[in-house]
Structure 1
């Protein structure tokens, strides 16, 4: 009987993986909607506890999110577009600076041959590629309108996300109760306990880390713009997004900002110190204020696990795999921790009770 159950659950897992593999091209809007419902459910629960009905709580949350998203589109997107176009204009000059200043310095310091970099071929390839496009919007539109069917599908997915999110969020507690009701009765308590641990790990990382990403993006962008860096907003946003992996945003952001600052300020000491100070302040705030306040002391995912899970998910299932990566990693982390505890309590680890000879 136990073997039958094991084969049943193993078959279920195999069927689920096959389902994701076959249907992953159409799963993206549903997974995004599921993620939004998961993120906003605690807020709706609080509004429901305050006296609002579940439906009106969902409407209030959706209205607030729509207003914030619209404000970001109206304010942030034009600024980022201008900075991207500025980067497009500065790219040839930056390539010249790298070729005639940075690389000769590196060659003299490390004793490299003159033809080591082969930079002329790289520069020619980049310049040829950039000359084929006029702006980022044009590139996006050219790809989006390459196929009328693809454009219609993209718009349908865009409309589908809020619709599915609304119904999932409204019926979230009902769906969770029905799933719990389907669990085997003798395993219900253990399954609910494991699900609670997975929720703790995933919630600690997703909800907390997303808020940390937004806060760091604002801090980095505002600080770099105050220093006077032309690409400060763009680099700050990229550093904030890269902060999904702890310390990754800091490394990418300070590296890009120092390169841009070196090119813009010509090695002037004070602006470069200002750039370093911005990222040091941001890192200090993350470690002492943001992470303890927003993430707390709950167990999150290790940075290496995050990197591996995102890369593995993207390799196996594309963008759908990226969306599934963190939930799957959270479940695996909880199961591995329990397997570790079972192993430490087993005779395999302890070697039995035989006395030493």
Structure 2
């Protein structure tokens, strides 16, 4: 009985309930020093718990709000031209929703089929890699002072066993692609995930877009009058920085994906659709995007019948895309006024994805923008403070 009581209390007093209790208990001390800091830390910890436990449920809502945020300026532009807001939303949302449904119904099966073909081509790849690794081992062992026991014997690797292992798990690889693309997580079935992302997300996006300005107005009405001006100013700076990055980077990634896939089709390189989609997704990651997207293309070229010609195709396509991206696409679309360093973006994506999975990837860049603005404002306050200006001694 005592064990059941402890379990019941533990389930009842989850971090969210404890946070509400803390807020109630601290009401008499709301003007005390350290109150804001304590509540802020508690709110951050509660949000961490909420995202870690229910992130898979929040993903369609986060994705819907993100789409609403990106599409709202376009909706406002159509409304200014005397188009009804609901009609403007439908006109803008139909291509986006249609592209998403097409990707789920047609694109993902094509990706799975190409992955299946790649698994079937694995024997040549494994044998080639095994020969290369064995040659590297012989070279390393030949260095004075390096014994054979230092480098593992790669000759014991059996390519047939590796290929058999991959073929046995071909279905798992295919289903893993579905789960990865759909953001499946923590116990939901694939059918529920498809329903959530294909049907729930567009509905949420529509209603958020229809009431977007009203939602912002109601949130502003909840702000304390004494802090309204400062919060609104911060929100405007945040909006400018985030919108420039998101709209610019999404546009660049889409162009890179379409351009890469089209060029690979033109030069008749295998798995062009798969590699183009990968290049588009990886285009969201600064610096590492090109490297991560070109590795599979190089591997495919190495197992082709004409290795040198295939490598030349890869070098031509990805080199041309990189030149166009760095010289024309990114400067024209994104420009130099975004203010987010690529290393900062990579760090945010890594931390967000590690702790919160798919939802973490969605919120990592907005969170990074907020942290950057807080740090910039904190640095400005420090430089204008007596601590910074006071003479030494």
Cα distance change, pair 304–105 in 1 and its aligned pair in 2 (3 A) = same
Counterpart of 1:297 in 2: which secondary structure? Answer: coil
Q: Pick from 324, 340, 349: which aligns with 2:363?
A: 324
**Matches of 1:129 and 1:284, distance apart in 2:** 36
Contact 2:353 2:361 (C-alpha < 8 Å) held by counterparts: yes
Shift of 1:334: 0.8
1:115 equivalenced with 2:145 (yes/no) = no
- Equivalent residue number for residue 121 of structure 2: 90
Distance (whole Å) between structure 1 residues aligned to residue 188 and residue 275 of structure 2: 35
Which of 135, 159, 163 does residue 105 from structure 1 map onto? 135
CA distance in 2, matches of 1:98, 1:92: 10
* Contact 1:242 1:249 (8 Å CA) reproduced: yes
Residue-pair matches, total: 350
Counterpart in the other structure of 2:87: 56
2:126/2:159 contact within 8 Å kept = no
Report which stretch shifted further, 22-31 or 66-75.
66-75
Partner of residue 281 from structure 1, selected from 320, 337, 343: 320
> Match for 2:345 among 306, 313, 317?
306
Alignment correspondent of 2:381: 342
1:127 equivalent to 2:176? Answer no
TM-score, normalised to structure 2, is 0.77
Residues 310, 321 of structure 1: 8 Å contact kept: yes
Query: Following the alignment from structure 1 to structure 2, what is the Cα–Cα distance between the partners of residues 123 and 296?
Result: 50
- Residue-by-residue CA offset, 1:138-171 (whole Å, 9 max, x unaligned): 6678999xx9983564355233222211111110
Q: Alignment RMSD, CA only?
A: 3.3
Residue 202 of structure 1, aligned match among 239, 242, 250: 242
What is the match of residue 293 of structure 1? 332
* Equivalence for 1:27: 58
Q: Which runs of 5+ in 2 are unaligned?
A: 1-28, 143-147
Question: Which residue of 239, 264, 285 maps to 2:279?
Answer: 239
Give the distance between the partners of 2:192 and 2:76, measured in 1 at CA: 33
Q: 1:263 aligns with which of 287, 296, 303?
A: 303
Select the residue among 13, 31, 35 that pairs with 1:7: 35
* Alignment-derived partner of residue 184 in structure 1: 224
Shift of 1:135: 7.5
- Cα distance in 2 for partners of 1:288, 1:142 equals 36
Shift of 1:20: 5.4
For residues 365 and 205 of structure 2, what CA distance do their matches in structure 1 show? Answer: 19
For residues 190 and 331 of structure 2, the distance between their equivalents in structure 1, rounded to whole angstroms, comes to 43
CA contact (8 A) 1:254 1:276 kept: no
**Which residue of the other structure, out of 222, 227, 231, is the alignment partner of 2:267?**
227
8 Å contact kept, 1:216–1:240: yes
Of the three residues 200, 209, 212, the one matched with 1:160 is 200
Distance 1:125 1:183 in 2: 61
State the TM-score, normalized to the length of structure 1. Answer: 0.85
Distance in 2, matches of 1:183 and 1:118, equals: 68
Distance of 2:236 and 2:101 partners within structure 1 = 34
Pick from 69, 88, 99 the counterpart of residue 68 of structure 1: 99
Work out whether residues 202 and 300 of structure 1, in 8 Å CA contact, stay in contact via their aligned partners in 2: no
Q: Contact 1:34/1:168 (CA < 8 Å) preserved in 2?
A: yes
**Structure 1, unaligned stretches of length 5 or more?**
none
